[in-house]
Structure 1
Amino acid sequence: MMQFSMCFWFMILLAPFLFVLSVDPGFSDDVLGLIVFKAGLEDPKRKLSSWNEDDISPCNWEGVKCDPATNRVTALVLDGFSLSGHVDRGLLRLQFLQILSLSRNNFTGPINPDLLHLGGLQVVDLSDNNLSGSIPEGFFQQCGSLRTLSFSKNNITGNIPQSLSSCSNLATVNFSSNQLHGELPLGVWFLRGLQSLDLSDNFLEGEIPEGIQNLYDMRELSLRNNRFRGKLPGDIGGCILLKSLDLSGNFLSGELPQSMLRLTSCTSLSLHGNSLTGGIPEWIGELKNLEVLDLSANSFSGWIPKSLGNLDSLHRLNLSRNQLTGNLPDSIVNCTKLLALDISHNQLAGHVPSWIFRTGVQSVSLSGNSFSKGNYPSLRSTPASYHGLEVLDLSSNAFSGDLPSGIGGLSSLQVLNVSTNNISGSIPVGIGELKSLYIVDLSGNKLNGTIPSEIEGAVSLTELRLQKNFLGGRIPAQMDKCSSLTFLILSHNKFTGSIPSTIANLTNLQYVDLSWNELSGSLPKELTNLSHLLSFNVSYNHLEGELPVGGFFNTISSSSVSGNPLLCGSVVNHSCPSVHPKPIVLNPNSSGSNSSISSQDHRHKIILSISALIAIGAAAFIAIGVVAVTVLNIHVRSSMARSAAPFALSGGEEYSCSPANDPNYGKLVIFSGDADFADGAHNLLNKDSEIGRGGFGVVYRTFLRDGHAVAIKKLTVSSLIKSQEDFEKEVKKLGKINHPNLVTLEGYYWTSSLQLLIYEYLSKGSLHKLLHDDNNKDVFSWRQRFKIILGMAKGLAHLHQMSIIHYNLKSTNVLIDCAGEPKIGDFGLVKLLPMLDHCVLSSKIQSALGYMAPEFACRTVKITEKCDIYGFGILVLEVVTGKRPVEYMEDDVVVLCDMVRGALEEGKVEQCVDARLLGNFAAEEAIPVIKLGLICASQVPSNRPDMAEVVNILELIQCPSEGQEELE
């Protein structure tokens, strides 16, 4: 009996285990595999709390799906669960798994090489994690069932394995946004079932191989933002089902292949940011399903084809930053679905057809062309289709006339930019009716009148830029209704009166520039309440009194308030006078008697007599002074007439007030407005005003009558200068060049014996001074250096795009503005010479040792843009290393280019980075930048990349690392 009892209880205790054994053992495999997988994870949001190791089946667990017939796990979908950890081997127990989707988590570590051993897998999505390492070479050896594979948005490195071509059933492959490099495996073109391939945002290189026509099922192809070069595959038209093609951001060159006209199913074609050439072909109009066409930032030339009017499905057309000429074809009026048109930064001219604004377009950008004055569209009557216009950018053209009064009818307008034109008249009051408007830029025109008080109606306004006009009157107090304002830029105008205290109500203000006006009174103390202020410039006004104390104004720079001699406070090193009440003087004899009154009257008469004498004496002294000054003035003017021709004012229309019969009388032309020199011509020749010397002449600093500083280059190659007609023609062309990384030419002065060029003045000085001056205590950070290199590249690329060779690129010809942006100067001056003579170029112009390309020494070699690229390469090395191109040691001469190349060969290139950075630089950026500099400085011109390619490479090199702020 006792034996029976023990057996009974033993069976009772064993029953649960016997039950599990009686069920399909695969259940326990699935549970065990998922529990092991979970054990290696962090689950901060407890998304996997339903996963219980005591459960018999996982089919009811969060993210788990089972086959209802077999109850085996077929899908594991944990997208966006905030999980972290490794993709563990426990998943290999899920033998019937078909879908594995772990996207948008924080999985780390390498890709599990055995993951595809789960033979039934059809979908693997590990996108948007932090996986690292390379894709294992044998990863694709067992991928027969795989149809969808995504490793996008990780940190995967290495090459794409050749074995990928064995996955014959693949339909979708996405490896975008990683760090893959090497060439594209040719076998990819043999995945005949492939419908979508996205390899964008990597470092893949080489040519795109032929054979792409094999992918006749391909719908989407994106190789965007890699380093592919060479021509587009000639057989790309074989992908006749292709709907989206994106090859932007590479180094592709040549013309568009003829076979592309077969891509009639294509809805999106983007080739932005390459080096493609030739004309935009007429057959582009055959791609009638196109909704997006982006050919921007290439080197396309010629006229815009009329066949674009056949694209009646087109939503977005971007042809910006090319070399297109002519005008817009009227046929584009047929693109009735067009929403965005960008043809900015080309060489288009003529009129702007009014139909652009009748097509229901939402965004129009025509900036950086030569559209002529008086031809921008009238908006006095605003049809209903105008109401959809949101962005209107007509900046940097040659528009003139008044702003249309009916602008208030553009009820949806959000951005209005007509800066850098010749627009005159007043700001229309209708601007206050634009409730959605958040950016207004009317700077660099000839606007007059006042800011209308109605501007208070533009309640969404965040940026108001009106600098460099002729606006006057008071700043309206009603502007405080624009409570979202962050930028208020009103500098270089003629505003008067006091700064309204209501500005202090604009609590979002970050940048305020009221400099170079005629403002008076004191600064409102309430301005200290502006807690977001980053810059507040009121220099060169007539302000007085004490500076506000507190907030931003405790750290305001002295330059931001300079030019106001009556301001006081610690910032301007001018203590404010103590204010005491006038003392009350009591007359001890004031008893009310007549005698006291008589005595008081007598004293008043004596005082009046003395005052009268002083006034008479002062008047006589002033009269004598006026006579003396007049005599001296006549003498000075006669001397100036003999030594240097006087200046005649000309603003845009080249009006000259010089006597027609005086051949020595010169002409001054200011491109962007009417101005004159504050103190006349003699100050230009003052040795104290000299700020630099170069191959073309001496540079002086002076002020125009409107108050802003300019740099004057007095040309010293007068014997080589062309005739006045040719000189003015070339200078006017240079005056139209507008780019943030090029020094602006503001005007010129001409006589037969004296030629002056008038440039914008940049107070921080040259790159050479900031890099090499021992008295300069500020050291450029790595981030600043990269910004300078990229800016120089963009400026030089813009010059080359306009077929201008600099010939004399060096650090003294690169100036730095207050924001740290580089600006290339002295460009295009060789055009002023009658011929491009090697001797003249080398002796007069290319005077800086170390920057000169070797082809300058060979009289038979044609000088091209490649010589600029050589100089740019040397500049890159100079900025990175902080060393001069050629340095003379005690017993040796060190050539920078040779030194860096030697260090690279020895594997010590990091040691070349400027020691003053103390190792605080991004090596993953610095080393590729140095290599790029060496390539640009190649001895063989054909080995040097084009500047457009250089810009693309630098933008690819630039990595937004987490420690970027620390490198500032």
Structure 2
Amino acid sequence: MLFDLCLFLLLVPVFSKSLDPTFNDDVLGLIVFKAGLQDPESKLASWNEEDENPCNWVGVKCDPKTQRVTELVLDGFSLSGHIGHGLLRLQFLQILSLSNNNFTGTINPDLSQLGVLQVVDLSQNNLSGFIPDGFFKQCESLRSVSFATNKLTGQIPESLSWCTSLAAVNFSSNQLSGELPSGLWFLRGLQSLDLSDNLLGGEIPEGITNLYDLTAINLQNNRFSGQLPVDIGGCLLLKMLDFSENSLSGVLPESLRRLRSCTSLRLRGNSFAGEIPSWIGELKNLESLDLSTNEFVGRIPSSIGNLTLLKELSLSRNRITGGLPQSMAYCLNLLVLDVSQNELTGNLPSWIFKMGLKSISLSGNGLSKSMQYPSVTSVAASLQGLKVLDLSSNDLSGEIPSDIGVLSSLLFLNISRNRLFGSIPSSIGDLKMTQVLDLSDNKLNGRIPSEIGGVVSLVELILEKNCITGNIPTQIKNCSSLASLMLSQNNLTGPVPAAIANLSNLQYVDLSFNNLSGSLPKELTNLSYLVSFNVSHNKLQGELPVGGFFNTISSSAVSGNPALCGSVVNRSCPSVHPKPIVLNPNSSASSNGSSLSHNHQKIAFSISAFIAIGAAAFIALGVVAVSLLNIHVRSSMTRTPVALTLSGGEDFSCSPTNDPNYGKLVMFSGDADFVAGAHALLNKDCELGRGGFGVVYRTILRDGRSVAIKKLTVSSLIKSQDEFEREVKRLGKIRHHNLVALEGYYWTSSLQLLIYEYISSGSLYKHLHDGHNKNCLSWRQRFNIIVGMAKGLAHLHHMNIIHYNLKSNNILIDDFGEPKVGDFGLARLLPMLDRCILSSKIQSALGYMAPEFACQTVKITEKCDVYGFGILVLEVVTGKRPVEYMEDDVVVLCDMVRGALEDGRVEECFDGRLRGNFPEDEAIPVIKLGLICASQVPSNRPDMEEVVNILELIQCPAEGQEELE
């Protein structure tokens, strides 16, 4: 207030024109408002105090008769600062929209004094504090208000119910708490209410039937309890209802059957019980029905076949019994069907493959029937768009259809844990787009077809627990994206092919419990991203490879191979010396000296000729190889989409081509052009690292800034473009000192890139495990890193985002030693995948993953991140990895620290490189806090806000003392 007043007094002398009675003081108000802002892109350059009116200024609209400002729309201008009092001079302002900027501070309650204000949109900023009660006390004309995606706290003010003209309210994605205001249902003109992604709780009061005009209500991801209001069916115009991810219970109120206009009903992630009512079929306008993760029992009502407009049906994770009703075949518009993790029985219905579905998830039931019915070819036209097929964990029998290759669009195929037999058909090689292929835990036999090399997009190949015989085909080298190769518990024979060493993206390999023989190829040491390589219980022999991952491989991963030798198996390898050449001096050729000499020359000539021929052949092969490589590269370049639409902010421009590969590059702020051009974004030489979700590269913007580009390797499992862009834009608004900022993105249907700020000093993993003693992190540096990680994670949880993939490689350290949490929110970009699939994407976080990931019935919450944080704390303090493989043992960090504390061996809990230079009254409580966070029981772990408070209490009072060296 004082700042605005001073600014006003300073600027008044400039406006000599204000003495002119025709002059309108909107100019003064806007200039005062601008003076309190930062405008890095000079979007407000046209705002000139010398103008008589602001009607031609960017973002300003005026009444053509009065020349007074009626609209101020500055969405996505990259502005920052406070929303000052200068706006109060705009007495005829009707629309105020400042969304998608970086405004901070609190909401000015005096804005309501603008008597004709109709629309206020302050969404997607960094506003904090309470929603002021006074804002809604003078709101006779207010029709729409949005404070979504900020950092607002406290309760929704009761005065909101005084704004009887309100038609739309959006307070989503904040940190609001408390119960709903008692007068909320008196806003009889309300059409849209969005309070999702907050901390609101209590029961939803009755009286919602008063909202005659309500068309959309979204309360998802809060803490509401009790039952749904019994009178909710009185909102006859309601089209969208979303109460997902709360703690609601009871049966569905019968009044819901009156919502004949409803197109979307989402109640996922609650505790609703009873049977799915038969009247659900009366909601004939439904396009999306999500009742997943509840406690529904009984059968799926046959009336569901009346929902002919239905596009998405999710009933997963309930206790539904019986079979899939035949009437569902009439849901002709259905695209997504998910009834996984129930208790369904009966035959796998044939109609399910004739409906043109894009995603079929029936896993975790008791369905049976031969996979050969119907013939895939006979319904090929209906299956052309199928992307996801998950029939795992059922009772299916028979053989895999020989014509399965016609499913050319399939991205994800999982038919594991059934009773399938026979061989893998060669047509599997026609699945060019498939990324995940899981046929494990069946009774398959025969060989792995060499055509497997045709599945060129493959990321995960899982064939374990079958009866497969023969060699591992060398053609697997063509699957260049392969990251996970699981072939254990089969009857495979022959050698481990050296071709596997060509799969540079490999992270997980399990060939254990087979009959493989020969020696391990030395080239395997070139696999720089290996996390796990298990060849135990085979018939391998010879020396283990030396170098890279194999220098730290655990003995258990190579056990059960008696003829293997090397330091890992504690068995020395026999020395091999070349057999000497012995000439017999008593040979009869002594009488024919010239003949002997001639023979020597002949032998010498033969060897020379052999060497020359071999060298020539080698050179010829090299020339051919280089030529083929050049042809391949040119071919690849012709296929690679390089056209990008460059745009600043979030303003998409249409692609000037119908080519679906034509991409869009969007930067949230700053220059959207790259020094080396779009084609160099993914330069191998600029690769920074790899993780469970993608590969990271470094590139440079035109303004000289470096950025990090993440190429998502789960691109085919990404949501639709609209959902992807919505999620990425949401992540792009998250700004915190201890979080890596998302600065932009790039989209095509086959390639998605995320553009982050570049952090030059590398990861926490590098600082802890790749450094030298002389560069060892001090205790104060470690403590500050722990506090910074906690604050960053607490902020994510405030935004209702679970990280899922915490590990020291995802914590970056900037030039000032401050930690920044990266890779957050990526799990939200994936479609409806169960936690098994999700956890397979983040298996690289070994040792950091909470135990509930292994339990299908436990809900994944922020407490999973708290567990990973606890492990990180122990890693920072001890300098040890979460899991370390010793010569004949595996050491789990959490267990080691807990045991040392219990036995009084406290000194073993700290990095030896600190040499005792740390305050014990600070260090020991930090260790104990880490153990509490890493508790096996989620409810025993504190919230991250509590963790931050505890760390601030732990910190020694001698903060100003010189840092311990």
**Alignment TM-score, normalising by the size of structure 1:** 0.61
| 1:84/1:550 CA distance change after superposition, 3 Å | farther
Task: Report what 1:833 is aligned to.
Answer: none
Q: Kindly report which structure 2 residues correspond to 1:136-535, keeping only aligned pairs within 5 A, or say none.
A: 136-374=132-370, 377-383=373-379, 384-535=381-532
Is 2:371–2:400's contact at 8 Å kept on the other side of the alignment? Answer: no
Task: Report what 1:24 is aligned to.
Answer: 22
Report the CA distance between 1:438 and its aligned residue: 1.6
- Residue type matched to 2:178 in 1? G
- Residue type matched to 1:44 in 2? P
Task: Report what 2:927 is aligned to.
Answer: 917
d(CA) in 1 for partners of 2:108 and 2:78?
A: 20
Report the CA distance between 1:218 and its aligned residue: 0.3
| 1:346/1:959 CA distance change after superposition, 3 Å | farther
Report the CA distance between 1:824 and its aligned residue: 11
| 1:348/1:193 CA distance change after superposition, 3 Å | same
Is 2:23–2:52's contact at 8 Å kept on the other side of the alignment? Answer: no
Task: Report what 1:562 is aligned to.
Answer: 559
| 1:464/1:89 CA distance change after superposition, 3 Å | same
Report the CA distance between 1:345 and its aligned residue: 0.9
Is 1:382–1:406's contact at 8 Å kept on the other side of the alignment? Answer: no
**Is residue 2:841 matched to residue 1:822?**
no
Q: Secondary structure at the match of 1:186?
A: coil
- Residues 464-493 of structure 1, C-alpha deviation per residue, up to 9 Å, x if partnerless? 111111112111111222222222211222
Task: Report what 2:667 is aligned to.
Answer: none
d(CA) in 1 for partners of 2:327 and 2:79?
A: 55
d(CA) in 1 for partners of 2:212 and 2:111?
A: 30
One of 33, 37, 49 as aligned partner of 2:33: 37
Is 2:348–2:369's contact at 8 Å kept on the other side of the alignment? Answer: no
Q: Kindly report which structure 2 residues correspond to 1:568-647, keeping only aligned pairs within 5 A, or say none.
A: 568-587=565-584, 589-590=586-587
Is 1:154–1:178's contact at 8 Å kept on the other side of the alignment? Answer: yes
Q: Which moved more, 1:134-143 or 1:186-195?
A: 134-143
Is 2:178–2:199's contact at 8 Å kept on the other side of the alignment? Answer: yes
- Residue type matched to 1:100 in 2? L
- Residue type matched to 2:424 in 1? I
Report the CA distance between 1:159 and its aligned residue: 0.5
**Is residue 2:99 matched to residue 1:70?**
no
Is 1:376–1:399's contact at 8 Å kept on the other side of the alignment? Answer: no
d(CA) in 2 for partners of 1:958 and 1:344?
A: 37
Is 1:292–1:317's contact at 8 Å kept on the other side of the alignment? Answer: yes
Report the CA distance between 1:510 and its aligned residue: 2.5
Is 1:351–1:375's contact at 8 Å kept on the other side of the alignment? Answer: no
| 1:254/1:18 CA distance change after superposition, 3 Å | closer
d(CA) in 2 for partners of 1:18 and 1:350?
A: 86
Is 1:135–1:158's contact at 8 Å kept on the other side of the alignment? Answer: yes
Name the larger-Rg structure: 1
| 1:54/1:412 CA distance change after superposition, 3 Å | same
d(CA) in 2 for partners of 1:59 and 1:143?
A: 26
Report the CA distance between 1:542 and its aligned residue: 2.7
Task: Report what 1:104 is aligned to.
Answer: 100
d(CA) in 1 for partners of 2:303 and 2:948?
A: 41
- Residue type matched to 2:515 in 1? E
Q: State the 4+ residue runs in structure 1 displaced beyond 6 angstroms.
A: 15-18, 816-819, 823-828, 911-914, 925-929, 956-961
Q: Secondary structure at the match of 2:324?
A: coil
- Residues 553-585 of structure 1, C-alpha deviation per residue, up to 9 Å, x if partnerless? 444444333333444445445554443212233
Report the CA distance between 1:413 and its aligned residue: 1.7
Is 2:15–2:49's contact at 8 Å kept on the other side of the alignment? Answer: no
| 1:211/1:827 CA distance change after superposition, 3 Å | closer
- Residue type matched to 1:427 in 2? I
Q: Which moved more, 1:324-333 or 1:472-481?
A: 472-481
Which consecutive residues of structure 1, in runs of 5 or more, have no partner in the other structure? 1-14, 595-778, 791-815, 829-878, 890-910, 934-953, 964-968
Q: Kindly report which structure 2 residues correspond to 1:480-879, keeping only aligned pairs within 5 A, or say none.
A: 480-587=477-584, 589-590=586-587, 820=849, 822=851
| 1:381/1:36 CA distance change after superposition, 3 Å | same
Task: Report what 2:721 is aligned to.
Answer: none
Report the CA distance between 1:163 and its aligned residue: 0.5
d(CA) in 1 for partners of 2:437 and 2:184?
A: 50
- Residue type matched to 1:513 in 2? D
Q: Secondary structure at the match of 1:180?
A: strand
Is 2:317–2:340's contact at 8 Å kept on the other side of the alignment? Answer: yes
Which consecutive residues of structure 2, in runs of 5 or more, have no partner in the other structure? 1-12, 592-785, 794-801, 807-844, 858-893, 905-920, 952-965
| 1:921/1:51 CA distance change after superposition, 3 Å | farther
d(CA) in 2 for partners of 1:175 and 1:827?
A: 33
Cα RMSD between the aligned structures?
3.9
- Residue type matched to 1:487 in 2? S
Q: Secondary structure at the match of 1:242?
A: coil
Task: Report what 1:126 is aligned to.
Answer: 122
| 1:929/1:21 CA distance change after superposition, 3 Å | farther
d(CA) in 2 for partners of 1:927 and 1:95?
A: 59
- Residues 575-609 of structure 1, C-alpha deviation per residue, up to 9 Å, x if partnerless? 54443212233445556589xxxxxxxxxxxxxxx
d(CA) in 2 for partners of 1:568 and 1:281?
A: 66
d(CA) in 1 for partners of 2:230 and 2:558?
A: 62
Is 2:932–2:940's contact at 8 Å kept on the other side of the alignment? Answer: no
Is 1:74–1:99's contact at 8 Å kept on the other side of the alignment? Answer: yes
Is 1:453–1:478's contact at 8 Å kept on the other side of the alignment? Answer: yes
- Residues 251-282 of structure 1, C-alpha deviation per residue, up to 9 Å, x if partnerless? 11111111111000000001111111111111
Q: Which moved more, 1:472-481 or 1:217-226?
A: 472-481
Aligned residue pairs, count: 638
**Alignment TM-score, normalising by the size of structure 2:** 0.61
- Residues 216-243 of structure 1, C-alpha deviation per residue, up to 9 Å, x if partnerless? 1000001101111111100000000000
Report the CA distance between 1:34 and its aligned residue: 2.3
- Residues 729-772 of structure 1, C-alpha deviation per residue, up to 9 Å, x if partnerless? xxxxxxxxxxxxxxxxxxxxxxxxxxxxxxxxxxxxxxxxxxxx
Is 1:467–1:489's contact at 8 Å kept on the other side of the alignment? Answer: yes
| 1:552/1:390 CA distance change after superposition, 3 Å | same
Report the CA distance between 1:142 and its aligned residue: 1.3
d(CA) in 2 for partners of 1:259 and 1:558?
A: 64
d(CA) in 2 for partners of 1:341 and 1:914?
A: 52
| 1:827/1:512 CA distance change after superposition, 3 Å | closer
- Residue type matched to 1:541 in 2? N
Is 1:75–1:99's contact at 8 Å kept on the other side of the alignment? Answer: yes
Report the CA distance between 1:311 and its aligned residue: 0.6
| 1:928/1:494 CA distance change after superposition, 3 Å | closer
d(CA) in 1 for partners of 2:231 and 2:467?
A: 58
- Residues 303-354 of structure 1, C-alpha deviation per residue, up to 9 Å, x if partnerless? 1101001111111111111111111111111111111111111111010110
Q: Secondary structure at the match of 2:328?
A: helix
- Residues 161-195 of structure 1, C-alpha deviation per residue, up to 9 Å, x if partnerless? 10000111111111111111111112110000100
Q: Kindly report which structure 2 residues correspond to 1:909-948, keeping only aligned pairs within 5 A, or say none.
A: 915=925, 917=927, 919=929
- Residues 142-174 of structure 1, C-alpha deviation per residue, up to 9 Å, x if partnerless? 121111111111111111010000111111111
Q: Which moved more, 1:59-68 or 1:289-298?
A: 59-68
